[in-house]
């Protein structure tokens, strides 16, 4: 027994040497599972409410995300009884993120020269803020990345394994299925289609048909969904349902200087967390400055190693440890996919959510296309991202409450909103409150007495500051109470603060305000203020 005990550290060390990729994937998945956010977005609450109560499961923009979530939660309830739906859906995304890294490992091992290191690239992707953010949240962006990577793996097998049509059919199936989990992955499917058209040997038309035929699954699924929404089986109804978010105004598209600037900023934020809460965190926890210094030090070290690698790149070529020419079609096709995804994100006014696939795609292109990059440089960069994003992203989001709507089961504000239908509640993020109400009460239709804060209310069509003040006076004269959370809360340097500043106070000038309740956050209380 003693000899076995003494030999176990040796076996553990041998396993870690032989399987560093699995260790990295396992540790990152553990991070995703242990640090779910407690500051969920309004969409996260809405999807969780739909899954919990079986409402509006088939949403046009990501048709199968809620149904799969419903099946997941139903299975967990069958095994373990009572389950918190929102928490369970975050677990599903954490596991999907770990699965994405496993598939990426297989893909990189096929594309990189034999004997070269893969685990630093997995660390780099898994530590990127876009992946960390959505792996710890209930949003519809991680599961389709997993499916699209499965499509890319099958496409690489087709390209590198003798152009077997079964691999091409599998690539088309996974890429099409990803589109049913989020429409943005049409760009990934299209990029692989273009790669098939250009690189398929021999009968290109046959190859295109084999890849494209599984995509018929997408229109069939959408047609089958029309009766769920009581829509007629017509082309016009199908068209409007597929593009529902654009017709409803919840998704927009345009190209502008502002959108280009946002695109650059959000592409950077896909890798590194940058948010207005950082200044508040540094004031409250000055030791976080050491994380910033370590981050800069690791970046400098990675840059130095990259410089050395660049100067020695010819030696790598001469040594023969370079990617084969067969890999080039995979690299270029994924470069096209990356370009299409980013162009659509720019068209969507710099939508950061549409860039979550960028770390994996960029890694496929760079890791396979530039094998001379020093693994230590990539590892140092990945470690820098992990430290920074944990310190300023995941850990605060898990342990600290950034905002507090006051909505929780049996909370006073929840009871007040439901029991005082003639009172008005002008709330900072009223859609978040409405979705939380939906989650806790099971009522899909939100109460009509919950409205946006004054700053946003006056921007509605036909509204103005003068009309808002007149409406407010009318409500008060008629004996209706009016509350707002738009005054005296923590002033984080976020987008809303930069755009709107203290306009709520300006709009309420001349009215008397009295604090009625408070909701604690990590940066000070939010107040429910009565306007009189």
SS3 annotation, 250-270: CCCCECCHHHHHHHHHHHHHH
Q: What are phi and psi of 235, to 5 degrees?
A: -65, -40
Higher pLDDT, 304 or 418: 304
441-465 pLDDT, tens digit each: 999 998 999 999 998 888 888 889 9
SS3 95: helix
Q: What are phi and psi of 299, to 5 degrees?
A: -65, -40
466-507 pLDDT, tens digit each: 999 999 999 999 999 999 988 887 766 555 554 455 688 888
285-316 pLDDT, tens digit each: 999 999 999 999 999 999 999 999 988 877 76
pLDDT value of position 262: 85
Segments of 219-346 assigned E as strands: none
CA atoms of 62 and 142, how far apart (whole Å): 12
In this structure, are residues 407 and 440 in contact, taking their beta carbons and an 8 Å threshold? yes
CA atoms of 321 and 301, how far apart (whole Å): 24
183-222 pLDDT, tens digit each: 999 999 999 999 999 999 989 999 999 999 999 999 999 9
pLDDT value of position 410: 80
CA atoms of 516 and 434, how far apart (whole Å): 20
pLDDT value of position 431: 93
Closest CA to 379 of 122, 181, 23: 122
Output the average pLDDT for the chain. Answer: 91
Alpha carbon of 224 to those of 59, 68, 185: distances in Å?
Answer: 13, 16, 20
CA atoms of 265 and 284, how far apart (whole Å): 26
SS3 482: strand
**What percentage of the chain exceeds 70 in pLDDT?**
94
Q: Which residues contact 2 (CB under 8 A, 6 or more apart)?
A: none
Tokens of 432: 């978040």
Largest Cα–Cα separation, the chain: 86
Q: How confident is the model at residue 4 (pLDDT cuts 50, 70, 90)?
A: very low
Give the pLDDT mean for 384-413. 92
pLDDT score of 381 more than 90: yes
Give the pLDDT mean for 222-231. 96
Tokens of 273: 């967390």
pLDDT score of 13 more than 60: yes
pLDDT value of position 5: 43
Tokens of 520: 């604690």
Q: What are phi and psi of 427, to 5 degrees?
A: -110, 150
pLDDT value of position 250: 77
Q: At what angle do helices 186-199 and 165-181 cross, to 10 degrees?
A: 160
CA atoms of 352 and 269, how far apart (whole Å): 8
In this structure, are residues 92 and 72 in contact, taking their beta carbons and an 8 Å threshold? yes
In this structure, are residues 245 and 61 in contact, taking their beta carbons and an 8 Å threshold? yes
Helix (H) or strand (E) holding 526: strand 526-531
Q: Which residues contact 392 (CB under 8 A, 6 or more apart)?
A: 273, 275, 277, 278, 281, 288, 291
Give the pLDDT mean for 137-159. 98
Helix (H) or strand (E) holding 484: strand 482-484
Q: What is the DSSP secondary structure assignment for residue 446, as one 8-state letter?
A: P
Give the pLDDT mean for 49-67. 96
Give the pLDDT mean for 227-236. 95
End-to-end C-alpha distance for the chain, whole angstroms: 78
Helices H / strands E in the chain, number of each: 28, 5
Beta bridge partners of 531: 482, 513
CA atoms of 104 and 169, how far apart (whole Å): 19
Higher pLDDT, 428 or 211: 211
CA atoms of 352 and 336, how far apart (whole Å): 19
Looking at 221-230, 309-318, 523-532, which range is the least confident one? 309-318
Closest CA to 118 of 361, 313, 364: 364
Q: What are phi and psi of 450, to 5 degrees?
A: -100, 120
> C-alpha angle 210/357/350, rounded to 5°?
115
Looking at 100-104, 110-114, 184-188, 405-409, which range is the least confident one? 405-409
Q: Which residues contact 509 (CB under 8 A, 6 or more apart)?
A: none
CA atoms of 69 and 95, how far apart (whole Å): 13
Q: What are phi and psi of 23, to 5 degrees?
A: -65, -45
**What percentage of the chain exceeds 90 in pLDDT?**
70
Tokens of 360: 């994996």
CA atoms of 66 and 263, how far apart (whole Å): 28
Higher pLDDT, 6 or 457: 457
Higher pLDDT, 460 or 137: 137
Specify the length of the chain in residues.
Answer: 532
Q: What are phi and psi of 508, to 5 degrees?
A: -100, 10
For residue 113, count CB atoms less than 10 angstroms from its CB and return exposed for 0-12, middle for 13-18, buried for 19 or more.
middle
CA atoms of 429 and 192, how far apart (whole Å): 40
Q: How confident is the model at residue 349 (pLDDT cuts 50, 70, 90)?
A: confident
Q: Which residues contact 41 (CB under 8 A, 6 or more apart)?
A: 137, 139, 432
């Amino acid at each position: 027994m003693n000899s076995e005990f003494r030999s176990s550290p040796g076996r553990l060390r041998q396993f870690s040497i032989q399987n560093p990729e699995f260790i990295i994937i396992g540790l990152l998945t553990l991070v995703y599972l242990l640090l779910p956010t407690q500051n969920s977005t309004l969409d996260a609450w809405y999807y969780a409410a739909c899954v919990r109560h079986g409402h509006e499961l088939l949403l046009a923009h990501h048709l199968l995300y809620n149904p799969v979530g419903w099946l997941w939660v139903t299975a967990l309830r069958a095994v373990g009884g009572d389950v918190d739906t929102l928490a369970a859906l975050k677990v599903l995304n954490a596991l999907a993120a770990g699965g994405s890294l496993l598939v990426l490992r297989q893909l990189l091992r096929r594309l990189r020269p034999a004997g070269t290191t893969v685990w630093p690239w997995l660390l780099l992707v898994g530590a990127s803020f876009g992946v960390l953010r959505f792996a710890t949240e209930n949003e519809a962006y991680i599961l389709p990345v997993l499916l699209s990577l499965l499509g890319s793996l099958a496409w690489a097998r087709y390209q590198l394994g003798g152009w077997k049509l079964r691999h091409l059919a599998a690539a088309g199936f996974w890429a099409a299925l990803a589109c049913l989990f989020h429409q943005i992955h049409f760009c990934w499917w299209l990029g692989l289609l273009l790669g098939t058209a250009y690189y398929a040997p021999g009968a290109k038309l046959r190859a295109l048909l084999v890849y494209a035929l599984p995509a018929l699954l997408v229109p069939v699924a959408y047609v089958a969904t029309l009766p769920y929404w009581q829509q007629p089986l017509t082309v016009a109804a199908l068209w409007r349902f597929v593009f529902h978010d654009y017709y409803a105004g919840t998704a927009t598209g345009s190209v502008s200087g502002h959108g280009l600037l946002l695109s650059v900023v959000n592409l950077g934020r896909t890798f590194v967390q940058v948010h207005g809460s950082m200044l508040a965190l540094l004031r409250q926890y000055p030791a976080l400055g050491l994380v910033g210094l370590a981050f800069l030090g690791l970046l400098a070290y990675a840059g130095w190693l990259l410089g050395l690698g660049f100067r020695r790149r010819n030696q790598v070529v001469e040594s023969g440890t370079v990617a084969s020419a067969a890999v080039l079609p995979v690299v270029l096709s994924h470069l096209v996919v990356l370009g299409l995804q980013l162009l659509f994100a720019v068209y969507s006014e710099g939508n950061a959510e549409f860039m979550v696939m960028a770390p994996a795609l960029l890694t496929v292109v760079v890791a396979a296309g530039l094998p001379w990059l020093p693994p230590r440089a990539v590892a140092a960069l990945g470690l820098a991202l992990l430290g920074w994003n944990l310190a300023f992203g995941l850990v605060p989001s898990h342990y600290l409450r950034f905002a507090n709507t006051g909505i929780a089961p049996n909370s006073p504000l929840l009871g007040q909103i439901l029991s005082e239908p003639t009172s008005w509640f002008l709330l900072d993020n009223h859609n978040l409150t409405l979705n939380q109400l939906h989650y806790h009460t099971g009522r899909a239709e939100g109460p009509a007495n919950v409205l946006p804060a004054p700053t946003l209310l006056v921007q509605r069509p036909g509204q103005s500051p003068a009309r808002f003040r007149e409406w407010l006076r009318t409500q008060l004269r008629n004996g209706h109470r009016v509350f707002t959370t738009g005054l005296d809360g923590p002033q984080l340097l976020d987008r809303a603060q930069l755009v709107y500043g203290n306009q709520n106070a300006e709009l309420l000038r001349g009215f008397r305000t009295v604090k009625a309740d408070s909701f604690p956050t990590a940066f000070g209380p939010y107040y429910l203020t009565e306007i009189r």
